[in-house]
Structure 1
Amino acid sequence: MKNTSPRGFFVLLALLFSWITMVSAQAQVNTYFTDKHGTFNGLGSYWYQQFTVSQKQTFVLRVTSDYSADAAIITGDQLGNFTGNRSFSGYAMFDNQYGTKGITLAPGTYYVAIRSQSTATNAYRLELDLDIALPAESGLTYTFVDHYLQGTEYVGANGGKLWHGFTIQSGFRYFVDGCNTGLSTYVIPASELSAFKSGGTFNYYTAYSATDNAYPGLDEIKLPPGSYYLAFTNTNTIQKPVTYTMERWRVNKASTVTLDMSGTASWTAKGSTVDIRIAKISNLGTAKSGSLRLRLWAVKSKYTGGSISGYVLGQRSLDTLSGGYSYKNIKGKVTYKKPPSGKYYSVLTLEEYTKAGWKIRDYVSFKEINKL
């Protein structure tokens, strides 16, 4: 955050840095596909770029221009109409308009194009971005909630201002994107709005602020929970356009099953039965487990994890176990299956039934060698 007061700058910057450090483990999002900005000098002046889509893909087209312009995604058969300043058909069309539109394209070859519909010198910026997609990571998934902010407006000339409030809440991620043709963009705390509106000195977050037609994005707003404003100022002698959106995504903790055996484990074989005991079996995750079983094994070498090969001496079946719950003091006799005579290590495995069959989730490997 920036301020003409050095003390205010460093204190607020330290707070922002500490918060960004806390959330920096999340993967960065990159939606860039192509962009173009410049100035048209006459009616019908144009720019276009060819691109190819190899598989179904969703895009976002953003367009701003000082005066009237047309823009769209078109196919090759419409290119002549577009460059000849004639009527044309296409996708995500802007007809003497500016703003933001989404479009899903099938595989094929396309052109992204913009042309001026004004005789005046016409500054413009066009951005074609990939739609935001957030894959699961580190036990978390993300769900799109809404376009929390969205606006397409002109900011008045000679010091005009525009602002739009938003609130950061825990458990969500916020992504802002947009473009303009010559504005200053700021993210400010709600407490600074009066100073911003009055034209005085105000604090703002430098990570999300600049005088640049590529702003306000793409940026993930990584600020502590609280109230803020997305704000714009215009020092030009003509009004200037801006289009912006802020997407809100919910952070979901992935449901997990984490099975654990703890406490004293033992077994005793006598005759045709074996008594298998374990002090506690816990599901440390959040989801219900599959069916469980305890298996007592005789193995030739000490078991340290992975696949297991040996003889099953006895087995106890258990029900599913909900997340956060435990079975305690499991004990009792089950049928004993004596292995071929010899010396063996023994191991107790906790196994879960899954779609892929039985999987070992935890084990106790006993130190003693047993003559069976």
Structure 2
Amino acid sequence: MNEDKTEQPTDYRFKKVRKEGRIRYSHELNSLVILSIGGAFLFWNKNTIISRISEILFSHFNFNYSIINDNNFIFYGNATFLSDIFYFMFIIFIPTFWVIIIAKLFGGVSFNLKLLKFNVTKLNPLKGFKTIFSFHMLFLMFKIFLKLCLVISISCFYISMHILDILELVNKTPKIALETGFNILISCFFLSVVSLIPIAVIDIFWQNYSYQKQFRMSRKEVKDELKQMEGDPYIKWRIRQEMKILANHRMMSEIPKADVIVTNPTHYSIALLYNEKTMYAPKVIAKGAGELAFKISKIGKKYKIPVISAPVLARALYFHSKLGQYIPSILYKVVAEVLSWVWQVKIWEKNGGSFPKKPENLLIPSELNILKEDSISD
């Protein structure tokens, strides 16, 4: 039994279907971009186009008696005609071609040879009829009908408003008539394009909805995809191990900055850093248990960092503080006693004298006596 597809498609699903050439695409937006940029191009070049049309009309409607007896009349006439054709191809069709390319890129382009693969199911007439009478095709026909109604209605309305100006063109000189007629056509064209904006907006939302609905997933598909993305459990374990090794290396490189190392003395080691000018509390820059604790103490001794054996405090810091963060506020007082001893040691190193006595009987709040045994693997 097929499971209902009620889940929204994931990003991985979208990437997969885009690779297959199925992209989100709005034909109405694409058409609107083509018409807008093409119309703007014609408007910006209207003076050049009108001047060229005037020259063509003048040359073709101006009768020259000297060409009657010219044997090369047809050749020159054809050459002139072809040059005019190529000019208008350059001024209109070539820019329009680039407008279409830009619009396609704007709407989204995906090149995939898989789309050219022969598929027998596409020749199934029943599937073809199903597609023809689908809701998608009905919506497409509705859009076409709506566009026709809007464009015809606005064009007729605009022309009816300027019918007197159009009829008056026969009484004007050719150049003025061309300019006036061109302005009327361009204005009518842009009004028609503006009327298509609501349809393009509706189509964008519709295409987005259809695209989301087409690639909806069942819960089983989501789970299978998640497993596929996660990959081999052994590889994941290896990645975690490598990340843990890198984190430990970074942690070990921070130990020389520590002010004091609190130990268990062998089970746990915690390196603390405190700068009274920039920090409001001591920060844990390294911590470890077992062999890692031994390495922390060894590095501390190498760099002559004061090491104090305080088993109860070491366990409290290990289980109730996080690496790279400030110690819990409940431990401020007891850690302050340790830091006070550290400062006395630094003074002793400079001035000599009797070695400062290490703090004893450090009192830990009773609520910290419950250790998080599950954290011992940290």
Q: TM-score range by the shorter chain?
A: under 0.3
The structure showing larger relative contact order (alpha-carbon pairs under 8 Å, at least 6 residues apart) is 2
Higher strand proportion (structure 1 or 2): 1
Question: Larger C-alpha radius of gyration, 1 or 2?
Answer: 2
Higher helix proportion (structure 1 or 2): 2
